[in-house]
Amino acid sequence: MKEYTTDKIRNVAIVGHGGSGKTMLVEHLLYTAGATDRLGSVDAGNTSSDFDPLEIRRKISLSASVLPIEWHGHKINLIDVPGYPDFIGDLYGVASVVEAMILVCEAKRDLDVGFEIAWEVAEKHGLAKCIFVNKLEKDNADYEGLLNTLHERYGRKVVSVQIPIGHQAAFSGVLDLLNMKVYKGRDRGVDMEDIPTGYLEDAQYRREKMMDAAAEGDDELAMKYLEGEELTPEEVEHGLLVGVETGKVVPVLLGSAMSGIGVATLLDRIIHELPGPHELPKTFGDLTLTANANGPLAAYVFKTSADPYVGRINYLRVFSGSLTIDQHVQNANQDKDERLHNLFFAHGKGQEPASKVIAGDICAVAKLQYTHTGDTLTTVKDKIQIPPIAAPEPIYRVAIRPVAKSDEDKLGEAVNRIREEDPTFHYRRDPVVHQEIIEGMGDIHLETVIEKLKSKFGVNVTIEDAKVPYLETVRGSAKAQGRHKRQTGGKGQFGDCWLELNPLPRGGGFEFENKVVGGAIPKNFIPAIEKGVREAMERGYVAGYPIVDIKLTVYDGSYHDVDSSEMAFKTAGALALAACMEKSQPTILEPILDLEVEVPDENVGDVVGDLNTRRGRLQGMDSIGAGKQVVRAQVPMATMMRYALDLRSITKGRGRFRQTFAHYDEVPFNEQQTLIEEYKKRRAAEEG
């Protein structure tokens, strides 16, 4: 691939709902541009963008793929982004490094949730947008219905720039309103024809609407158009470009990713009507970066791929300055020096060596030592740092258990490698429930993580339900004795102590105080009593959960000159705690979550009703526009384990939620009895 100047580069994300045909559209874009000599298929598992074995097996995109092509003197960096909500993390990373998104949707009346999410992310990042209506050849295709929905949802800035020729199975081409010609080309061929009978009136009407939108993008064009002068195709194209840049215009193109109809015209529109890096400076808070190859260096890592054999590959967008092979750069986030030994352009799973990468372009670097997703590569002199990607927080959790000791030894490194790839995947060891917890965006997301652990890193794990980190505490005070005496011949065991237990405020933790006077218990045995108490607190009393928010005071006791030992007083401390707990109204605490659920207006009643069944306490509701409301509630964690899946079912995927820990509260009495009975059964099984 030859070298291109910044003004000849376009960075475009192909986004939309899973199953809308994004990957096949990318495949046909590559084929039409001559980047590949064969047309792959998702069903056959041989597309350029879905090359991972898991993607091939599942027939869906799991991570973003960078695929550069050349078209009419331009370089277009296409990025195929996963469309299923479970794999939304890459959408946020890619949105930070492109100027435009092509939103792919099926020709049907209803918009899919993946399209809506992509639109919102594009709006949030100030990206230019273009819609590609796909699958017009299907029997149930409804282009006019879709167009009405787009206008109802997003207003008149959504502008048709093409008309389909033929309906459903008879779909054979597109009428381009810019030059009033019909394109009937499939695959690499493009045949232009005149407008057929019956289409001219509709084409003229829609062309006027397109010219209205183009004129609004430029003041000079608006004046000319208002004075009744006809705009030239070049002027219309310029007006559309300005309108797309500013977000005033979202052009709607159409075609078939399966047959290739409309693909060549889409490529033309990308280079002529979607902005390049030279036209849209990137703004990150107070930092604005202009794509100047001679400017200060700022290269941003938007994606990382971890491979057990190849190692780490970082995907970069150069916002300013240039990168060269073997250059020393500074990782601004880690304050570490890195050397670019392996600089290349990614072509899906393929690579093309690069000696230099200028501002505006996208590349990849292998085997950097310290660099991860969200890091900025700069120089010691320039010291530019771009804020990290704000990826959504995980909403679904399960526990995993290594199958064998060898799996346990490899688990930590393997999950860390996956975490480098995927900012929406979290892993932690829960010290309360003693489980390895993995968190993600849904059940399919975590299933693929577990498959990846096995196929890429050789780690076998089993899945368990994530346990709720219940705690135990007391409502009252008590005093009790712990006495341990055993004589089995020879030296015996003797330890005796009196403890006073008092509750602490919620979140108070644990306090231990020594008030023994007169040498009733020698000072060297006091730490043993505390150790015995702490170990007993970890084991729990009523249901096997850790005891918290108590203060224990040792105030009296006795000892034996020969038989007393640290072990004896440790046992006595545990016995005294149990005796105190029995008298001090023990209770079980559960974690309560602050929950915010964003849902369409029509689903609010169902969502509130569902939260009531989960013992939720409604805190309020707010309208946020666009036909949506935010429902706020406090809900016990125990009822939220499958909420991500249930909310998806209730709202057909359109509901989203955020949850954060709020506080611990007492479990209702009947729920406590259930937990206690379950604990007794576990103990009986263990002892039996």
Superfamily name and number for 6-196+247-280: P-loop containing nucleotide triphosphate hydrolases (3.40.50.300)
| Two structure tokens written together for 483 | 């006495």
pLDDT tens-digit series, residues 634-679: 999 999 999 999 999 999 889 999 999 999 999 999 999 999 999 9
Q: Report how far residue 500's alpha carbon sits from residue 477's, in angstroms, rounded to the nearest whole number.
A: 7
Work out the number of other CB atoms within 10 angstroms of the CB of residue 482.
Answer: 26
- The residue ranges of DSSP E strands in 154-220, in sequence order, are 158-160, 162-165, 173-176, 181-183, 192-193
| Two structure tokens written together for 461 | 């794990």
**CA angle, 12 as apex, 9 and 16 as ends, to 5°?**
175
CB burial string 596-607: b at 16+ within 10 A, e below: ebbbbeebbeeb
Indicate yes or no: pTM above 0.85: yes
**Those residues with Cβ within 8 angstroms of residue 373's Cβ, 6 or more apart along the chain or in another chain:** 93, 301, 302, 303, 304, 314, 388, 389, 420, 421, 423
Q: Are 67 and 80 in contact (CB under 8 A)?
A: yes
Per-residue pLDDT averaged across 627-636, rounded? 95
- The continuous run of DSSP H or E covering 619 comes out as strand 617-625
396-459: in CATH 3.40.50.970:
no
Domain boundaries, the chain: 6-196+247-280, 284-378, 396-459, 472-584, 588-670
Work out the number of other CB atoms within 10 angstroms of the CB of residue 180.
Answer: 15
Domain 588-670 CATH class label? alpha beta
- The continuous run of DSSP H or E covering 606 comes out as helix 604-613
| Two structure tokens written together for 370 | 């310290």
Residue ranges of the alpha helices (H) in 35-172? 53-58, 89-95, 113-124, 143-154
pLDDT tens-digit series, residues 360-375: 999 999 999 999 999 9
pLDDT tens-digit series, residues 446-465: 999 999 999 989 999 999 99
* Confidence at residue 215, expressed as pLDDT on a 0 to 100 scale: 87
* Confidence at residue 607, expressed as pLDDT on a 0 to 100 scale: 96
Closest C-alpha among 27, 99, 501, 503 to residue 277: 99
Mean pLDDT across the chain: 92
SS3 167: coil
Q: Report how far residue 290's alpha carbon sits from residue 475's, in angstroms, rounded to the nearest whole number.
A: 62
SS3 514: strand
* The two domains 284-378 and 396-459 share their CATH topology (first three levels equal): no
Q: Are 84 and 18 in contact (CB under 8 A)?
A: yes
* In the predicted structure, residue 162 carries a pLDDT above the cut 80: yes
Q: Are 298 and 378 in contact (CB under 8 A)?
A: yes
Which CATH topology does 284-378 take?
A: Elongation Factor Tu (Ef-tu); domain 3 (2.40.30)
472-584: in CATH 3.40.50.300:
no
Per-residue pLDDT averaged across 178-195, rounded? 76
Please tell me the least confidently modeled range out of 132-136, 198-202, 606-610, 623-627.
623-627
In angstroms, how far is the first alpha carbon of the chain from the final one? 71
Largest CA distance in the chain: 115
Please tell me the least confidently modeled range out of 52-66, 424-438, 580-594.
52-66
Work out the number of other CB atoms within 10 angstroms of the CB of residue 380.
Answer: 11
Per-residue pLDDT averaged across 398-402, rounded? 95
Per-residue pLDDT averaged across 121-128, rounded? 94
| Two structure tokens written together for 348 | 């899906």
Per-residue pLDDT averaged across 261-280, rounded? 92
* Confidence at residue 187, expressed as pLDDT on a 0 to 100 scale: 59
Q: Are 535 and 516 in contact (CB under 8 A)?
A: no
Q: Report how far residue 576's alpha carbon sits from residue 556's, in angstroms, rounded to the nearest whole number.
A: 12
| Two structure tokens written together for 638 | 């125990």
| Two structure tokens written together for 538 | 């970890």
Find the length of the chain.
688
pLDDT exceeding 70 applies to what percent of the chain? 98
SS3 89: helix
* In the predicted structure, residue 420 carries a pLDDT above the cut 80: yes
* In the predicted structure, residue 217 carries a pLDDT above the cut 90: no
